[in-house]
Amino acid sequence: MSKVLVDRFNRVHDYLRISVTDRCNLRCVYCMPEEGMTFEPEEKLLRFDEIAEVVRVLAGYGVRKLRLTGGEPLVRKNLVELVRMLSAIPGIEDIALTTNGVFFAAKADAFKEAGLTRINISLDSLRADRFSLITRGGDIRRVLDSVAAAQRVGLDPIKLNVVLMKGINDDEIEDFLQLTLSGRVQVRFIEYMPIGHDDDGWKTKYVPLSAVLERCERMGWHVQPHGEVYGNGPSKNYRIEGAPGSFGLIHPVSDHFCETCNRLRLTADGNIKPCLYWSDEFNVRKYIGDDEALAKLFFRALDVKPQNHEMAQALLGASQSHVPTMRRMSQIGG
């Protein structure tokens, strides 16, 4: 058995995304139905010590980078303690958090002290009324307070995630780009994805991210590839000439990034997902405590990981080679 997590296509996996809950305090239109969902009972979620045990084993196979997600991870009680446990594992070099930002400001110092290194904050509109509509009740002031708190405690880089949606927030592209001209943040524009949808309704909101570069051109901004903003993701990064910040384009549908995929996902209920889009899952629970068996399970997951996710096929209505997941983004961990 290899000492690194490598799949059939020679992609080395050194990055694990860990969902700690499928619950969320918001109901974003692209993530969860308005009526909410049936959430997993707490006893079915992996305990913190179980998560730490999985990470300890994977660190021995080259996993160095972690990201905590949800749902909204901060609705899980005592999440700071999990960060502390994970940061103490030999080999783990980087722990990031993806959050909607509602609860983070009050806990920023504690997270930083526990070992959190980076943060992504979802911010799909800069207009308070529209933000409330997209999130079905969110208060943008609390999110902006969390951005300020992350800056204050020295988390770097701070990334703002923007799911671009036709007729909803695509008229704010310029406003978001202006943020990179005034501060050291990275705005990441993300294409609307067909995750957990059993119909084609998502297509009506889909915007190809070429629209962002077209807006820069219309504004007369000179844009250059920015190289690699530190992180683990699939973003193609750019900087407007003279800007302290940068922006990234994550286009899984129009220009998939699968050939460089280095990530696995662990869902809150203990399933390994080798690919975000496909339905394949492997439950870790009965293997925790047996290091060799747990490692073999991850290698089994890698053996079925496909070469790409074929979301572009979904956009075109063409046939696909695997079965897409019916889990919502909040159940997977994004």
Question: 17: closest CA among 258, 273, 269, 252?
Answer: 273
In this prediction, residue 276 has a pLDDT band, given cuts at 50, 70 and 90, of confident
In this prediction, residue 301 has a pLDDT band, given cuts at 50, 70 and 90, of very high
CA distances in angstroms from 34 to 98, 203, 322, listed in the order given? 21, 19, 29
- Convert the pLDDT of each residue in 246-270 to its tens digit: 999 987 655 556 778 898 999 999 9
Average of per-residue pLDDT across 286-297: 97
Compute the distance between CA of residue 61 and CA of residue 317 in angstroms, rounded to an integer. 39
Contacts of residue 25, Cβ cutoff 8 Å, sequence gap at least 6: 72, 75, 100, 102, 103
Rounded to the nearest integer, the mean pLDDT of the chain is 88
In this prediction, residue 307 has a pLDDT band, given cuts at 50, 70 and 90, of confident
- Convert the pLDDT of each residue in 214-241 to its tens digit: 999 999 999 999 875 455 557 889 999 9
Looking at residue 331, its pLDDT comes to 66
The one-letter amino acid at 57: V
- Cross-strand pairs, 250: 190
Q: Residue 197 pLDDT more than 50?
A: no
Looking at residue 310, its pLDDT comes to 52
Two tokens, residue 334: 């994004």
Supply the DSSP symbol for 325. P
- Convert the pLDDT of each residue in 125-176 to its tens digit: 999 999 999 999 999 999 999 999 999 999 988 999 999 999 999 999 999 9
Compute the distance between CA of residue 256 and CA of residue 292 in angstroms, rounded to an integer. 33
In this prediction, residue 316 has a pLDDT band, given cuts at 50, 70 and 90, of very low
Looking at residue 327, its pLDDT comes to 63
Looking only at the bridges linking them, the beta strands covering 263-266 and 271-273 are antiparallel
- Cross-strand pairs, 88: none
Asked if 153 and 114 touch (Cβ cutoff 8 Å), the reply is no
Helix (H) or strand (E) run with residue 186 in it: strand 186-191
Q: Residue 196 pLDDT more than 80?
A: no
Compute the distance between CA of residue 137 and CA of residue 139 in angstroms, rounded to an integer. 7
Start-end of H helices in 75-172: 79-87, 108-114, 128-135, 140-153
Question: 157: closest CA among 181, 191, 188, 131?
Answer: 188
φ, ψ of residue 165 to 5 degrees: the values are -135, 130
Q: Residue 116 pLDDT more than 80?
A: yes
End-to-end CA distance of the chain: give it in Å, rounded: 29
Domain ranges of the chain: 15-332
Compute the distance between CA of residue 205 and CA of residue 223 in angstroms, rounded to an integer. 26
Two tokens, residue 270: 């203990």
Looking at residue 205, its pLDDT comes to 86
- Cross-strand pairs, 225: 238
Supply the DSSP symbol for 116. -
- Using a CB cutoff of 8 Å and minimum separation of 24, what contacts does 144-148 make? 144/101, 145/101, 145/105, 146/99, 146/101, 146/102, 146/103, 146/104, 146/105, 146/108, 146/121, 147/101, 147/121, 147/123, 147/185, 148/105
User: What's the pTM?
Assistant: 0.89
- Architecture (CATH level 2) of domain 15-332: Alpha-Beta Barrel (3.20)
Asked if 187 and 194 touch (Cβ cutoff 8 Å), the reply is no
